[in-house]
Amino acid sequence: MNKNPEVSFIICTYNRASYLEDTLSSLLEFGSKDFEYEFVVIDNNSTDNTARIADKYRTLASRKGVEMNYYKETEQGLSYARNRGIREAKAKNVVFFDDDIRATKSLIPSWCTFFRQNPDTAAAGGKIHVQFDAPRPEWMSHFLLPLLGHHDLGNSRKEYPPNKYPFGGNMGFQKSIFDRVGLFNTDLGRKGTQLNAAEEKDLFQRLRNHSLPIYYLPDAFLFHRVDRDRLDVQFIKKQALGLGRSMKLQLQDTSFSQFLKNWFLELGKLLATFPIGVGYLIMLQAAKARLLFRFRFWIWEGYRKGL
């Protein structure tokens, strides 16, 4: 059993036992004997059979010589769960995965190799492609895929540009940086069925305030599964409203210059929606154009109404 892991892979989960089982199965299938690592499952108050699934795969992992530990975090919220994972992790490097991913053969070796070769690097993010578990709706445009976890900056390793940052379903950190910049903001992020966001962006902004580089790792690649419930307009609306609420919370105590910067960025996104929408109309894809504009309106509505 690996008593001194190089990397702790943390999976936070909430009432998604069937997806969690698929996630843990794929992680064990595409493990690597060349590195020492552990899995840490954080159950954020699930009421389904998550504990039983975790216990099943803890046994299977042990047979493969891999340590897997399960903890229940009673404070509701993804940020609480992630912070608990950081506290429980034994390794000096931590990587976060969602509970509805499918690993690839290169995922675990890429993360372990990166941290072994770059021991002083603060943070990185991996590539994520969406896997639809139901037919893709006609209104789902490429520009809305990031809402479902899609994240692809190409096939070469690079430092993230200033306007980009890793996605939460595939991001890694040197554990010591949390002592410098703090943990995930528990006022941000999902809480149960409430789809607030921005806790990842908030953390990466703090890293950048300390001039810490963040790298993109194309070979740390996984698939993010999307079920039928997420392929619904009301789910997209709920996410957009959550983004708006989170943005308002982030800007409450910020400087006026940062406030203006954020709003100019949002204005730029809104203006960019017009030529994109016109392009979809020309291609006779009105449903995609319509939802893009509705999405931008819902973000503003979430901001206006606040928490």
| Residue 67 parent element (H or E) | strand 67-72
- Do both 70 and 204 map to the same domain? yes
- Do both 222 and 249 map to the same domain? no
pTM for the model stands at 0.85
- Do both 178 and 40 map to the same domain? yes
CB burial of residue 178 (10 Å; 0-12, 13-18, 19+) = middle
Q: Select from 199, 231, 263 the last residue of a domain.
A: 231
Contact at 8 Å (CB) between 36 and 2?
Answer: yes
- Do both 166 and 76 map to the same domain? yes
Question: Which one has a higher pLDDT value, 79 or 270?
Answer: 79
Q: Over the stretch 56-85, which tens digit does the pLDDT of each residue have? A: 999 999 999 999 999 999 999 999 999 999
Distance CA 298, CA 294 (A): 6
Buried-exposed string 121-141: b where 16+ CB fall within 10 A, e elsewhere: bbbbbbbbebeeeeeebebbb
Q: Select from 231, 259, 289 the last residue of a domain.
A: 231
Residue 1 lies in a domain: no
Q: What is the pLDDT of residue 195?
A: 46
Buried-exposed string 287-302: b where 16+ CB fall within 10 A, e elsewhere: ebbebbeebbebbeeb
Q: What is the pLDDT of residue 190?
A: 63
Question: Which one has a higher pLDDT value, 8 or 141?
Answer: 8
- Do both 187 and 49 map to the same domain? yes
Rounded mean pLDDT, 82-95: 97
Q: Over the stretch 211-268, which tens digit does the pLDDT of each residue have? A: 999 999 999 999 999 988 888 888 888 878 877 777 777 666 666 666 666 666 766 7
- Do both 105 and 116 map to the same domain? yes
Q: What is the pLDDT of residue 293?
A: 86
Residue 196 lies in a domain: yes
Rounded mean pLDDT, 157-180: 94
Q: Select from 231, 250, 270 the last residue of a domain.
A: 231
Rounded mean pLDDT, 85-112: 96
Rounded mean pLDDT, 163-167: 91
Residue 74 lies in a domain: yes
Distance of CA 205 to the CA centre of its chain: 15
Question: Which one has a higher pLDDT value, 200 or 273?
Answer: 200
Q: In whole numbers, what is the pLDDT of the chain averaged over residues?
A: 88
Domain that holds residue 51: 7-140+149-231
Q: What is the pLDDT of residue 230?
A: 82
- Do both 202 and 296 map to the same domain? no
Q: What is the pLDDT of residue 53?
A: 96
Question: Which one has a higher pLDDT value, 41 or 304?
Answer: 41
Q: What is the pLDDT of residue 246?
A: 72
**What is the phi/psi pair of residue 205, to 5°?**
-65, -35
Structural domains of the chain, count: 2
Among residues 31, 10, 8, 32, the alpha carbon closest in space to that of 20 is found at 10
